[in-house]
Structure 1
Amino acid sequence: LMATVEELKLRVRELENELIKCKQKQCAMEDSQKDCLPVLTPILFILAPSQLLLFDYDKVELANMNRLFFQPHQAGLSKVEAAEHTLRNINPDVSFETHNYNITTLENFTHFMERISYGGLEEGKPVDLILSCVDNFEARMAINTACNELGQIWMESGVSENAVSGHIQLIIPGETACFACAPPLVVAANIDEKTLKREGVCAASLPTTMGVVAGLLVQNVLKYLLKFGTVSYYLGYNAMQDFFPTMAMKANPQCNDRYCRIQQEEYKKKEAERPKVEVVQEEEEVVIHEDNEWGIELVSEVTDAELQAASGDVPDLPEGITVAYTIPAEDTAIGETVGETEQSLEELMAQMRKL
């Protein structure tokens, strides 16, 4: 029986992967710098789910080696292709779908939304979660627009230009602030990003900062997907002071994104329809010490009469104000007191010994 076209395509792809493996082994023998796998794969390797959809339009450059994911011999390949090659060698059981295009163009944006809606592990279902690891605000805004329109939950992350701080953020359309609710200065002021970047220089070139932020993002993803621990809505990282600010930002009712405002209304309706859970405050149990098997009894060493005698008059106070204690009158002291005497302490002690 002749194999189907799809089976032949799959076989060709398997052979291509085997060829890539052979080339990589040969490169490793020729150059010792290529003999080690990446020390840290920021996002993809740590998660390793059963299906990954990768979107990127850039190519691997030598300036990208600070990412600790790409390797020098991958220079010239598209980033999604290089990522698939590396990850497939690590875990061949993962299914990959790569798209080498710019999601901010109209045509590609439409296809991007289609794959979000129907590219899940279960055919025809949406993806479970979107992770954003892009380095420009235009791409973030495109992802934000798509997720607001589709009601898709996503996690955004980033490292600052100075490479010593970063953040992760969980965005739930309608419930939490979207990326347009509180945009960075570059977006709010409509600054051209091209004026902020230097040609041939890769921003955020400190790999340790990227590693920390990537680890925080992946940890948050695992907690969200596997439903354990506390999922962070926003978690920052300042490497200079080892400072980790965290907060939860609500959606902005005046957000510029129309779909964000629509999602906010939908969220309000769902919250209104949700049954309210009444919180019943349990009364504190009064512990009564009764007779026990050891014959121990708890009794007061002061009688009610003695307590009354040790208390003074309660002054008239405005409503709501009470006194912590009262001063007893001078003639109501409990028990006998020793009167004043001119005898010395030694004389008193000698007198007591004679008794």
Structure 2
Amino acid sequence: MSETESLKKRISELESEVEKLRAGHEKSVVRQKITEMSSEVVDSNPYSRLMALKGMGIVDNYEEIRNHCVAIVGIGGVGSVTAEMLTRCGIGKLLLFDYDKVELANMNRLFFQPHQSGLSKVDAAEKTLSGINPDVCFECHNYNITTVDNFQHFMDRLHKGGMIEGKKVDLVLSCVDNFEARMAINTACNELRQNWIESGVSENAVSGHIQFVTPGESACFACAPPLIVATQTDEKTLKRDGVCAASLPTTMAVVAGLLVQNALKYLLKFGKVSDYVGYNALLDFFPTMSMKPNSDCTDSFCRGNQKYFAENVRTTQIEEEQVQKQEISTENEWGIELVSDSAGAVDSEDRHVTQGIVKAYTVEKSHEDTGNSVGDTSDVSLEELINQMKNV
């Protein structure tokens, strides 16, 4: 055996020993699963600082995070960081969906590491996240959800893959990077009447958004689709081969943070879940707004969900009106309400217009019947009003 071959053999043996030592070290530092979450701030309890939120009165039931299941679709720049945040928060179960592999080109993003190159993203994520928190149950699916067979399995896992097998997941988080996958998630969630939060980062890497979708109550992704979806244009024609969209770990981390924060608010029922939050990194601008569903939505399940929601809302409104009438009849015989006009008149159409958002058009007010109507009392004195009331 030549000296070179002997040296190569020795190097190979040393590398093998290093791998064994590394594997043994990683195994030794993995903590045991904890049986109970405590609000006492101690180093032995990794969730104690999170549980302190309970002691401060912000979250009354933080330990219930272990009873929730979330599905994350797309384990890329936003999805991987989202999965890590939820894992560190102590989520009970995560369903991870992606069909891509880790590449060195992904290293400008957070979470993944160079030695994971070539692994599927879901497998690489599970290995890393299991080391961070062994209490979390992971279910990984390495496939494209947009194919017919895979879509049916995807829907089945959303419907039956919850914390308890056979129950729905509590929330779906969309972290995909294409419209086809978003439409697939939208279709599945509309059919299952499943709440979900959509997220995205622009190709120029300096803006992003999240959008909370409640089927029937808020606009789904098909209600007001992007132009490329509305015109049924193949999005592959808009991308050049071999050219990767710009991406910044900072922008994706901000979007992931907004996504997880609102997911926690939804799951643990504290604060207010935002309907839509945008992010403009150039101006540090965060516009918010709400979008109502489109009655002419192309998704039939969305239209059905709208009718279902309207019926439930109407029933609730009738019950609330009956309660209000009872309160008015006992507290205010005439039902008169005094309103101060010291702050000046406010146009009702302008009350909910968010800064940074402009109206596409306005409806002109009708100028008919400009004369005083029966209910017009602008020129009537107080004494005359009292006399009118007595004659009723």
TM-score by length of 1: 0.68
In structure 1, the residue matched to 2:320 is 276
1:320 aligns with 2:378: yes
Gap regions ≥5 residues in structure 1: 1-17, 26-38, 286-317, 324-355
Tell me: CA distance 1:267–1:204, structure 2 relative to 1, closer, same or farther (3 Å): farther
CA distance in 1, matches of 2:110, 2:271: 29
Equivalent position of 1:196 in the other structure: 238
Change over 3 Å in CA distance of 1:86–1:319 after alignment to 2: closer
1:344 aligns with: none
What's 1:231 paired with? 273
Partner residue of 1:73 out of 96, 115, 118: 115
Q: 1:46 aligns with which of 73, 85, 92?
A: 85
Q: Is 1:164 aligned to 2:206, yes or no?
A: yes
Q: Is the 8 A contact 1:116 1:127 kept in 2?
A: yes
1:68 counterpart SS class: coil
Tell me how many residue pairs correspond in the alignment. Answer: 262
Tell me the distance in 2 between the aligned counterparts of 1:110 and 1:164: 35
Shift of 1:320: 2.1
The structure where helix makes up a greater share of residues is 2
CA contact (8 A) 1:63 1:201 kept: no
**Aligned partner of residue 174 in structure 1, secondary structure:** coil
Cα distance in 2, alignment partners of residues 43 and 209 from structure 1 = 13
Secondary structure (helix, strand or coil) at the match of 2:176 reads coil
Q: What secondary structure sits across from 1:247 in the alignment? A: coil
* Percentage of pairs with the same residue: 66
Which residue of structure 2 aligns with residue 351 of structure 1? none
Q: Specify the alignment match of 2:138 in structure 1.
A: 96
Backbone CA RMSD of aligned residues: 2.8
Q: Please show how residues 235-274 of structure 1 align to structure 2 within 5 Å.
A: 235-274=277-316
- The residue aligned with 2:166 is 124
> What amino acid maps onto 1:22 in structure 2?
A
Partners of 1:166 and 1:209 within 8 A in 2: yes
Instruction: Answer with 1 or 2: which has the greater Rg.
Output: 1
Q: Deviations over 1:233-278 (max 9, x none)?
A: 1111111111111111111000000110011111112112222254
* Residue-by-residue CA offset, 1:146-168 (whole Å, 9 max, x unaligned): 00001011000000111111100
Rate the CA distance shift 1:214–1:247 in 2: closer, same or farther, 3 A: same
Secondary structure of 1:276's match? helix
Aligned equivalents of 1:161, 1:236: Cα separation in 2? 15
Instruction: Work out the CA distance in 2 between the residues paired with 1:207 and 1:200.
Output: 21
Tell me if the contact between 1:53 and 1:96 (Cα under 8 Å) persists in the aligned partners. yes
1:235 alignment partner AA: V
The alignment status of 1:150 with 2:192, answered yes or no, reads yes
Within the candidate set 163, 171, 176, 1:134 is matched to 176
Equivalents in 2 of 1:130, 1:58: separation in Å?
19
User: What secondary structure, in the 3-state scheme, does the structure 1 residue paired with 2:254 have?
Assistant: helix
